[in-house]
Structure formats: C-alpha cells, structure tokens
C-alpha cells in the first residue's frame, strides 16, 4: 500500500506538471492581454510598457512559465490582476465552499446511487417485478440525464424559492461568516447538483451490479442457498462498492470544479463561480491558479477513490 501511495503521488505530481503546461499555454492563447486589462483602454504605449514591466510580461513566455510553475508548486499562485490579492487566498476562500457543496451533494448521493443502482442492476437480471423496477429507475435516470443542468436548477429555483418561498433564491452567505451559518443557502444548489449527478452514477452502479449478479461467484453463492438480503449484502454489494467508489470519486472532482452553471445561477460563493468571474474579467493569474487547483483536487479525489476501492475489494476477498 505504501509503495502504491508513493507511486501514485509521484504520478499526480507528473500529471500536474503536464497540466500546468496546458493551462499556461491555454491562458496565453486567451483573447485579450493582461496589460490592457490593467492599464485600461486609453493607456498610451509608455504606460502600457510600464504596466508590462511591473507585471513581468515583458519577459519571454518560457521564463514566465518556469517562474509561475516553480512558485505554484511552492504554494504561491501569483497575484490577481483585478484586486491585486494573492491568488492562493482567493482559491482558499472559495475552494472550501465548493468542497462543502460537494459534500452536501455526495452525502445523500452515495447511499441513493448504491441503493437504486443495485436494485436496478439486480432487477435487470431478475424476474418480471425486478425488470419493472429496473425499467422505472432506468427511465428516471435517462430522463434526468436528458435535462440540461441550468433547466433543473432553474426549475428548482422557480418552485422552491420564487413560488413556495421555502429556500432563498440566492446563496448569500453572511458577511464575515461561514456558509454553514446559513445552511439553507446550500439546499437548492446541492439539490440541483444531486439530481444532475444521480442519473449518471446510478447507471454506472446498475451496470456493475448487473455484471456481478450474473457472475459465477454470486451464482455459486445462490446455489449454496444464499438468497434475498443476505445475498445482496454479503456477496453483491461488496463487489459493487469498490468500483462504484472509484467512479464516484471521479465525479466528486467534477462536482467541485464543474458546478459553474449551478454556482453562477444561485450566486453560490464557490470556486466555479469564481472561475467564471476570473475568465470574464481576464484575470489570468486567477484562472491559472484555479485551474491548477481543480486539477489537483480531481487527481487527489481519484487517488482517494482508488485507495478506498482497493480497501473495499480487500475486505470482499
């Protein structure tokens, strides 16, 4: 396990280095330049040159990349062009909120997905009643997968905030406080992401459960007289959980960084919303810092999923 951990950690560092090249190159290619952003549209060539020198943009791209990546791996992600705040502070402020939102999504998602996915998977290879359960769940997941994220979020907002006034329409956290001071602001963004994510995860678990249910291993348990909940809990579930956790871990990284639409719609103070702000204002250091951090979060989530999956697999064996 220790060797695996070391190998995978080195792999993460290598992947992040490759990712850093891609991020730096992509942000270099973004339309617009930082000098215009800082100096303003009416700056003359002398003023522009001074700003370029102050920002270090008068140096070759490779030199700037080496500086940036060296500092980034040391925890210094640079300084925002917009507010001249350290990017690491900005990322720190917002990443915690996004992790909290992802946790609020995954807390109900994991048991729901495992329960419904396993029921559908077992049902698909079972009798008439089982196939009916599978069809209902599969139809439901397909229907959800077909609806765009912004529509689901918009519908929830219209019904639960604007019409029923049950939850706030905008995720306004208290000033100077934590998102947890006003937990109700998490409900609608989390519910939107839960619905969006649930369909895909259920289908993945279902496919795995259907495979396991027809495996010789489960078949022999069945022939040995193990039936009903005992068969599911002792033989099917452990085989489903390992791969399911790995798949869920990949999705976790996506939810942390990919919730741009939902975070923007509810104005949730997360990292996706901040990324959108930074792109709109051409704040290149913030875009680079957030992109690199999200890459790291996803890779760490995948590693954690692999480790948990292996642990569960070990328990099963």
Partner 1 sequence: MDGTSRRTFLRGGVALAVATPLIGACGQSAGQGAGGTLRAALVGSGAAETLNPFAGATTLDFVRALAVHGTLGRVDPTAEDGVRYDVLSAIESAPDNSGYTLRVRPDRRFTDGSKLTARDVLYSLNFITANAQTAYSRYATDLDLAKARIIDDLTLVLPAKRRVSDVRLMLCQPYVLIFKDGTREFTPATPSCGPFRVDTFEAGRGTVLRRNDSYPGTVHLDAIELRSIAAEDARANALRGGQVDYAHDLAPAQARTVQGDGRFDVQQSAPPDVTGLGVLLNMSRPPFHDPRVRLACKLAINRQAILDTALLGRGVLGNDLFAPGYPDSATTVPQREHDPERARLLLREAGATGVTVTLTTAPETPGLVPMCTQIAAQLSEVGLKVTLDERPPGGLYADYAAYGRFQMAATYSTPIPPLHYYETVGAAGNTFALGWSRPDVDQRVAAARELSGPARKQASEAVHRTLWEDNNVLLPVFKPVLNGHVRGLRGVRGGRLPSFAEASLR
Q: Does 169 bind partner 1 (CB under 8 A)?
A: yes
Least distance CB 100 / partner 1 (angstroms): 15
Stretch that binds partner 1, among 69-77, 194-202, 270-278, 295-303 (CB under 8 A): 270-278
Q: What does DSSP assign to residue 169?
A: S
Q: Give the span between the Cα atoms of 293 and 273, in whole angstroms.
A: 14
Q: Cβ–Cβ contacts within 10 Å for residue 285, how many? A: 21
Residue with token string 């100096």: 39
**Among residue numbers 57 through 76, which ones bind partner 1 (CB under 8 A)?**
none
Determine the interface stretch with partner 1 among 119-127, 140-148, 170-178, 205-213 (rule: CB under 8 A).
Answer: 170-178
What is the nearest approach in angstroms of partner 1 to the Cβ of residue 63? Answer: 23
**Residue 79 — φ and ψ, nearest 5°?**
-125, 140
C-alpha to C-alpha distance for 65 and 119, rounded to whole angstroms: 51
State residue 84 phi and psi, 5-degree precision: 60, 35
Q: Which residue has the tokens 């992401």?
A: 193
Binding to partner 1 (CB under 8 A) within 138-157 occurs at 157
With beta carbons less than 8 A apart as the criterion, state whether 247 and 238 touch: no
# binding residues, partner 1 (CB under 8 A) = 55
Kindly state whether residue 30 participates in binding partner 1, applying the rule CB under 8 A. yes
Nearer to partner 1, 60 or 176 (CB): 176
Q: Is 90 in the site for partner 1 (CB under 8 A)?
A: yes
Task: Please identify, using beta-carbon distances, which residue of 249 and 262 lies nearer to partner 1.
Answer: 262
- What is the Cβ-side half-sphere exposure of residue 83, based on CA atoms within 13 angstroms? 8
Q: Which is nearer to partner 1, 151 or 170 (CB)?
A: 170
H or E segment and range at residue 45: helix 45-55
CB 8 to partner 1: min, Å: 31
Gap between the Cα atoms of 164 and 159, Å rounded: 6
By the rule CB under 8 A, 27 interacts with partner 1: no
User: Residue 241's CB: how many other CB atoms inside 10 A?
Assistant: 22
Please report how many Cα atoms fall inside a 13 Å half-sphere around the Cα of residue 9, on the Cβ side.
Answer: 6
Residues 227-266 that bind partner 1 (CB under 8 A): 264-266
Write down the least CB distance from residue 137 to partner 1, Å.
25
Cβ closer to partner 1: 210 or 286? Answer: 286
Measured CA to CA, the distance from residue 99 to residue 89 in angstroms comes to: 16
Q: What's the chain's Rg over C-alpha atoms?
A: 24
Q: Which of 39, 101, 202, 236 binds partner 1 (CB under 8 A)?
A: 39
Out of 253, 282, 294, 312, the only residue in the binding site for partner 1 (CB under 8 A) is 282
> Which residues are near partner 1 by CB under 8 A?
30-33, 36, 38-44, 47, 80-85, 89-90, 93-94, 157, 161-162, 165-170, 172-173, 175-176, 182-184, 187, 264-267, 269, 273-274, 277-283, 286
């Amino acid at each position: 396990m220790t060797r695996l951990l070391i190998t995978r950690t080195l792999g993460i560092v290598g992947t992040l280095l490759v990712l850093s090249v891609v991020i730096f190159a992509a942000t270099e290619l973004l339309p617009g330049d930082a000098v215009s952003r800082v100096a303003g549209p009416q700056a003359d060539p002398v003023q522009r040159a001074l700003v370029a020198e102050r920002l270090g943009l008068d140096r070759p791209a490779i030199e700037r990349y080496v500086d940036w990546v060296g500092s980034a791996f040391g925890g210094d992600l640079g300084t925002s062009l917009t507010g001249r705040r350290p990017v690491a502070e900005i990322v720190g402020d917002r990443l915690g909120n996004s992790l909290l939102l992802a946790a609020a999504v995954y807390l109900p998602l994991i048991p729901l997905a495992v329960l419904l996915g396993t029921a559908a998977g077992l049902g698909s290879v079972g009798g008439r009643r089982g196939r009916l359960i599978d069809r209902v769940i599969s139809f439901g997941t397909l229907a959800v997968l077909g609806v765009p994220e912004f529509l689901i979020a918009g519908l929830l907002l219209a019904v639960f905030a604007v019409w029923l006034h049950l939850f706030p329409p905008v995720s306004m956290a208290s000033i100077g406080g934590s998102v947890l001071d006003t937990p109700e602001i998490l409900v609608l963004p989390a519910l939107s992401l839960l619905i969006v994510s649930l369909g895909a995860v259920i289908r993945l678990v279902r496919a795995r459960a259907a495979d396991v249910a027809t495996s010789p291993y489960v078949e022999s348990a069945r022939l040995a007289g193990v039936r009903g909940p005992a068969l599911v809990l002792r033989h099917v579930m452990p085989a489903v959980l390992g791969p399911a956790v790995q798949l869920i871990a990949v999705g976790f990284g996506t939810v942390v960084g990919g919730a741009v639409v939902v975070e923007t719609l509810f104005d949730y103070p997360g990292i996706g919303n901040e990324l959108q702000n930074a792109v709109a204002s051409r704040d290149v250091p913030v875009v680079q810092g957030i992109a690199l951090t999200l890459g790291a979060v996803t890779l760490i989530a995948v590693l954690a999923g692999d480790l948990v999956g292996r642990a569960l697999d070990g328990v099963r064996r």
